[in-house]
Amino acid sequence: MEKMKAGILYGPRDLRIEEIDIPDLSPGWVLLKIRAAGICGSDLHLYKEKTFIPISSVLGEGKYVPGHELSGEVKEVGKGVESIQEGDRVVVEPTINCGKCDWCKIGLFNLCENSGLIGFYYIGGLAEYCVVPEEKCFKLSKRTSFEEAATLDCIAVAARAVKRAEVSLEDSVAVLGAGTIGLFAAQLAILAGAREVYVTGTHEYQLKTAERFGVTATINARKENSVERLMELTSRKGVDKVIEAVGGTAPVIDEGISMVRRQGIIVATGIFLDQVLINMFSLVTKEVRLTSAWGYGYWNHLKEFAVSLGVLEKGRIDAKSLITHKFPLEKASEAFEAALEKSTSQSIKVQITY
């Protein structure tokens, strides 16, 4: 059996480049030569420290090949594949769903009770090759680079958050967090017609990127009280919608409750590692709607992943500016460190490219 190089994560800061078998090609699946793979915040959680998220994959218990933000070239197609052919340039929607549970049946496959994930359970983009179901491959035009396409997972997550926030022409929006998803959410809120968009963050270089996208104002949460500054900017009225894109241990949900107007909407997208304290009195008395966005599903009759790809292919959103670092597979550990140590590296999106 032919071999390939892969970056295997065994535990916190234990990422090893090893040779493993190229995955078998099943009927209805395609073999993909990876061209670009992004490092996601969820990957960083598992790389940085032991968490409640279990590590189990086709490689066995306790190790997996990361990389669920990926694009590449089709090298071979399995039996029965009709819509994809060898040589196609594709981006991958990484969620593998059962298609049988109640949630899949109503189109909410992001809530599938039996889902897997390429780049977690299945071999992901930190390998020279991976196998993907035919229906999870979306063709790319030549106007979109593999690197830009590999940000589609982030764009789709942000798109679902903007949709769940019901952003419209009348809205003022605060995006909490100026990482990849936050910066895409800001762009999409503007594209959706929001009259004002504010972005908070902790790194000045990220906020400068947000300013280039035409946001109303940015707030450096390390230098000033983000709630007080936001209220000053909105004449003490607060904003109509808040999109949270931080997670971790930051008190951003409570900040969002303080920032949003009465009957406003807060959408959480971050992965929180601990329980979060919030001001329930303000939440209740302001009749704030606190909800969340997990992955992506359908935007009415179209997949949110497909909607996001259309936005990218038409040049209506800037992904290229967010790709700050590229590393070869052999330097995957350095890539993860660059993604973690933002103050030193000034990274936004870090990718492995082939």
The average pLDDT across 100-124 equals 92
Distances (CA, A) of 179 to 47, 182, 325: 18, 5, 14
| Percent of the chain topping pLDDT 70 | 99
- What are the tokens at 85? 């052919």
Domains defined for the chain, CATH in brackets: 3-151+319-353 (3.90.180.10), 157-292 (3.40.50.720)
Q: Please determine, for residue 125, whether its predicted confidence score (pLDDT) is greater than 70.
A: yes
Residue 106 and residue 91: Cα distance in Å, rounded?
25
pLDDT tens-digit profile of 166-203? 999 999 999 999 999 999 999 999 999 999 999 999 99
Report residue 87's pLDDT band, with 50, 70 and 90 as the boundaries.
very high
Average pLDDT of the residues of the chain: 95
pLDDT tens-digit profile of 127-163? 999 999 999 999 999 999 999 999 999 999 999 999 9
